[in-house]
Amino acid sequence: MSAGLQKRWFITGISTGFGRELARAVAQSGEKVLGTVRKAAQIAELAAEGIDAIVMDVNDQVAVDEGVRAATERLGGIDVLVNNAGFGMVGAIEALSLDEVRAVMETNFFGVLRVTQALIPAMRASGGTIVMISSMAGQIGFAGAGAYCASKFALEGLSDALGEELAPFGVNVLIVEPGAFRTDFAGRSMLAAEGSVDAYAGMQAGEAKHRAASYSGSEPGDPVKGAQAIVDIIRAGNMPRRLALGEDAVNGILHKLANVKNDVETWRQASLGTAFA
């Protein structure tokens, strides 16, 4: 769909946080939006704001297939898919159980894949935009957030490949990488590993949950402005592959890329010396 025309948005996970603000921004712009929630009671609350919602669990393939079909029928088609549903998990990697890591990957990666695969055929036929809500943690590995970082790194690799695959069909893939925004993400929505390892006491890896909770409510990013930035860029049409949101995300990602560049250049000869003579 061309820039400036009315778009139809399907957003996963709109009960709180970025998803909620993004749904509000789209609705206020006059465009059609339908979002997903996990509890039926949340539908009426959203309806009071003029936002339509359906119950859909991204971890349930049957629910995803039915939800995408329902959303397509109610909206008359989908121009913009926003994969926003997800959650955070903190804890030293040594302390995480495999089940805890799998749970993060199931929602943050496989949940996104389920929804995206369900919509790809229609988007190949008509074009559109797929928005992946990643994180600056999709570029930077943080001590105490290894499981979450792994899920977002995986999401970014998938998104880059998907962007190359769908470009010939007129489908854009936008990866959004927010820093710390004043949502509930670092508060009650943040899960922590059940186990702990005494060796990490006093370190970021061992204190990540406490530090995130103490930071919750004072993050520098305004989710209303962040959501509006996403809407504005999509409506403008000529969008980037990646959009960092927030000064912390911009500075952190640029610092990481500078370190990568330095490592590659410093060890260039060792790298190039591996070729056949």
225 is a catalytic site residue: no
Select which of 7, 148, 159, 200 is catalytic.
Answer: 148
Report which of 129, 83, 150 is spatially closest to residue 240, judged by C-alpha positions: 129
Is 174 in contact with 243 (CB distance < 8 Å)? yes
Select which of 151, 152, 200, 216 is catalytic.
Answer: 152
Select which of 15, 32, 134, 209 is catalytic.
Answer: 134
Cβ burial of 103 (10 Å; 0-12, 13-18, 19+) is middle
152 is a catalytic site residue: yes
148 is a catalytic site residue: yes
Number of helices (H), then strands (E), belonging to the chain: the values are 10, 9
Neighbouring CB atoms inside 10 A of 213's CB total 15
Amino acid present at 92: A
Is 75 in contact with 8 (CB distance < 8 Å)? yes
**Helices of type H across 127-193:** 146-166
- Gap between the Cα atoms of 52 and 221, Å rounded: 26
Can you say how many angstroms the Cα of residue 32 is from the centroid of all Cα atoms in its chain?
21
Instruction: Say which residue the tokens 């957003």 belong to.
Output: 11
Q: Please report which helix (H) or strand (E) contains residue 128, including its range.
A: strand 128-133
Is 212 in contact with 40 (CB distance < 8 Å)? no
Q: Give the active site residues.
A: 134, 148, 152
